[in-house]
Structure 1
């Protein structure tokens, strides 16, 4: 089907393999990423149909992401044991079934459960993507393929905003998810054109490591996602339990971090004893790999945070349709795609370290501009320019840090690098989405509470009729309906709407500004990136033995 890339001695031109396998791999990446991008765009329609809150959509996103992050390392091992192409095909098929169930879901609870199933399918697809690229391409074509994989992920965001925005407005939010079923079928048919990756029956699976990794990721993600409902420090009424009056949410985060450290300690011990580990820790041996991992964790969280805040404000606050949201966010999505697709061209001219530093500064600048320019009129030129700046920096960083990870590891560790990418990417998505929701709602609550206190237009008797302990983003119409059930006069209702409008906008601005600060802090781990250009990605075209011990690595020159 495909031929091995070789250098032709007479011409000095490297033979190139066909791009059909890359098209199949890219379509699979689009399938996975489209689902995650479509949920925020559909937030308004889902909230209205299921009579729920935006937090339910956030929870669905978090459930998907934490399942992938928790079990993707196990999925990589299964790929080596049973064959990466077979696992790719099984995962795509199950994911397609899950999207069909998503299109017919009847409640927010069912939607969350379906996203959990989709996450389990993605667990075995995500690590296979890097292995399949490595088995089909060599040299410079591998670097191109890696860039195309990142571009496919970014293009899914563009397509989601366009397709979900248009079809969601004209025919309902369910139709786009139904279309993903047909895309999965097409990928499954085309996947038989991929080169099989030989099984490695001798691969061992570390069951204890799998439990520790999954528990760590899930506790961290669930803890962050519950901060708003359960309380940041003190227990809120919605918390299932408390410890001496403290909220269980931060305690879950601390316990998750502890189990994460236990996982690395356990894996180190097994590797010293020449026993199989869930992930080969050589992928995190060097400073540059750890720096790239931290950088991926940060930029991977900032993107989902922005993707959650923008539709939340446009649809819930401004009451606009999914199509209007798509139009408003297209510049941002296109900028991510452009930054992802063309950043590879800078690798030979700018070192990874400087490109990482510049990238995070650009992201911070875009978020800062967005904080100072965003208003109730979302589509102003200044806001669009801010989104373009933000998207270009984000897209370039996503490609850069992943390329650094795969270029710095031994060639037999493609599956482990893919698993690490999936874990970090989805953990950051879950944490970024959860933190964005908790941050925005927490600031909103503080803004509203401070605005109504000692406000002569809002008497204490009226405040007693409203639950200020459970503040959330609501439209003006929803607030009017709520106040209609109280003794509020028309003047008091008007003042309450004014306070709500100002508090919502201030919460959004402050959230973007805090995210900008996080992006600036990320310059520190970016300083640990290498000074050389990323080279060829790891390859597992041929079966490799299970690594023993902590063998030494050589970094590209």
Structure 2
């Protein structure tokens, strides 16, 4: 098969810089959407006559819809093509953003932001990672490309509070959604010359039943976490029911594979130890990013009474850290093993969380949050790119649709867990003690990611994609 963009390891052909800009901006705006509402909590709750918990539900449902539909979204790219899914996702996202801007109440906001933007993201994000893997063939150039994409994604998540805060204070929280629609328009223009390296296969089967089961199972688990503040028994019931549905899903997958049918998600994806560990690190990374962002932002606004701009300015420390380390991804990949970078990232992030707890207890000044957020940003920027590279590079071209969907689903599920777990602890009692409890919980989960990173291979680069693998067509 001819390699896209020229020979392996060669710089991208003319025009691919424009394509990379489109892919990176797409990741930016989706990450931005997941965090910018954190600084609008007071404004939205007052304008729409709802509560902090209502806004938390809207944020979590957005992240959850992405996680639940990312695997089906990845599979659809094989059938309908990467470019078509990407552009369709952009259009659905833009409609959701404009609907959110005009929302008269929480229900319409959830429909526009949480549902339509979530569906749009699930369609457009898998193509971002599939196209990057196909267009950049060697580990170094792929690390550079993923570095740009993850930098924009991390900056979108970290700078979301600042940008959203500035727009909210200058105009209105509704204008932040108009801003998202305008960025989508720019991405569409940049994507017009995008070429799909692999032709779509309209005959490729799609496991609709599996898609429904996986989505329902994930929704029940996360909604169970959100129910913890209302009823312990409801929480347990929803989580157990979700686990049973997911078990049903995996049994269905196994049965379809044994009968020669193509499932939504092949179980063989979980037989690669390096990829499995990489998926764990991805999940925990986004859990830490979104969980800490929501917790700090909500605490500053509701307890410390900071406005949207003040809260956003404080978060520039995390943005700066992410920018510095993410844009150094190519250089870091050349000098250090992926395992080393991931472990270093978790160490810095956990240290940052500890500093956030310690300084918040000792000082009331806004500057007390800067050192911890800077460490968190530096740590996440160091490890986001190598974790993605480890997973994507573990599979050949024909499996990129599957692994990309799984990878993004696992990451967005981590974002959902982060907001749900930390948010539930925080909202149960918006006090300094609840803030510390939420952050300490996040730090403890970070240790799980560190342990997974420590078990990754010590090789400097991940395994190159194998030339062929069985195809379930």
TM-score range, shorter chain: over 0.9
Change (3 A) 1:389 1:158: closer
- 3-state SS in 1 of match to 2:366: coil
Q: Report the counterpart of residue 438 of structure 1 in structure 2.
A: 424
Which residue does 1:45 correspond to in 2?
A: 43
Q: Identify which of 10, 18, 26 aligns with 1:14.
A: 10
Give the 3-state SS of the residue equivalent to 1:45 in structure 2. helix
In the aligned structure 1, how far is the partner of 2:119 from the partner of 2:4? 33
What is the TM-score normalised by the length of structure 1?
0.79
Q: Is the 1:17–1:136 contact (alpha carbons within 8 Å) kept by the matching residues of 2?
A: no
- Evaluate the alpha carbon distance shift between residue 383 and residue 287 of structure 1 in structure 2; reply closer, same or farther with a 3 A threshold: same
Q: Corresponding residue for 2:323?
A: 337
Higher helix fraction (1 or 2) = 2
Residues 1:28 and 2:26 aligned together: yes
Q: Relative to 1, partners in 2 of residues 1:537 and 1:191: Cα closer, same or farther, differing over 3 Å?
A: farther
Q: Is the 8 A contact 1:41 1:311 kept in 2?
A: yes
- Shift, 1:151, TM fit: 0.9
**What's the offset of the Cα at 1:48?**
1.8
The answer to whether the Cα contact below 8 Å between 2:277 and 2:456 also exists between their aligned partners in 1 is yes
Counterpart for residue 432 of structure 2 = 505
Tell me, yes or no, if structure 1 residue 137 matches structure 2 residue 136: yes
Match of 1:371 in 2: 357
Q: 1:250 is matched with which residue: 233, 236, 242?
A: 236
Which position in structure 2 is the counterpart of 1:516? 443
Q: 1:123-522 residue pairs with structure 2 within 5 A?
A: 123-139=122-138, 140-196=140-196, 197-229=198-230, 231=231, 233=232, 247-375=233-361, 377-380=364-367, 382-442=368-428, 444=429, 473=430, 504-522=431-449
- Change beyond 3 A, Cα 1:546–1:95: farther
What CA distance in whole angstroms lies between the structure 2 residues aligned with 1:66 and 1:291? 22
1:63 maps to what in 2? 61
**Residue 287 (structure 1) shift:** 1.8
* More displaced 10-residue stretch of structure 1: 14-23 or 170-179: 14-23
Q: Secondary structure at the match of 2:13?
A: coil
Give the whole-Å Cα distance in 2 for the aligned partners of 1:194 and 1:539: 26
Distance 1:251 1:533 in 2: 45
After TM superposition, the structure 1 stretch with the greater mean CA deviation from structure 2, 517-526 or 167-176, is: 517-526
CA distance in 1, matches of 2:466, 2:29: 24
Question: What is the SS of the residue equivalent to 1:277?
Answer: coil
Task: Say whether 1:529 aligns with 2:453.
Answer: no
Compute the displacement of 1:158 (Å).
4.5
Q: TM-score, normalised by structure 2?
A: 0.92
Q: What whole-Å deviation, never above 9, does each CA across 1:309-330 have from its counterpart, x for those lacking one?
A: 1110111112221111111111
- The answer on whether the counterparts of 1:21 and 1:136 sit within 8 Å (CA) in structure 2 is no
SS of the residue corresponding to residue 4 of structure 1 reads coil
> Which residue among 73, 84, 88 is the counterpart of 1:86?
84
Post-superposition Cα deviations, 1:394-436, rounded to whole Å, max 9, x if no partner, equal 2222222111101112232111121012211111111110111
Q: Is the 8 A contact 1:143 1:535 kept in 2?
A: no
Q: Which runs of 5+ in 1 are unaligned?
A: 8-12, 234-246, 445-472, 474-503, 550-557
- CA distance in 2 between counterparts of 1:136 and 1:406 reads 13
CA contact (8 A) 2:21 2:190 kept: no
Question: 1:248-271: per-residue Cα shift (whole Å, max 9, x none)?
Answer: 212211221232233223223322
**Shift in Å, 1:4:** 2.6
- Count of aligned pairs between the two proteins: 465
Distance verdict in 2 for CA 1:315–1:405, change over 3 Å: same
Task: Give the Cα–Cα distance (whole angstroms) in 1 for the partners of residues 437 and 66 of structure 2.
Answer: 30
Match of 2:116 in 1: 117
Q: Is the 8 A contact 2:74 2:127 kept in 1?
A: yes
Distance 1:248 1:537, change over 3 A: farther
* In structure 1, C-alpha distance between the alignment counterparts of 2:357 and 2:400, rounded to whole Å: 40
The CA deviation at 1:302 is: 1.4
Give, in whole Å, the separation in 2 of the partners of 1:278 and 1:315: 42
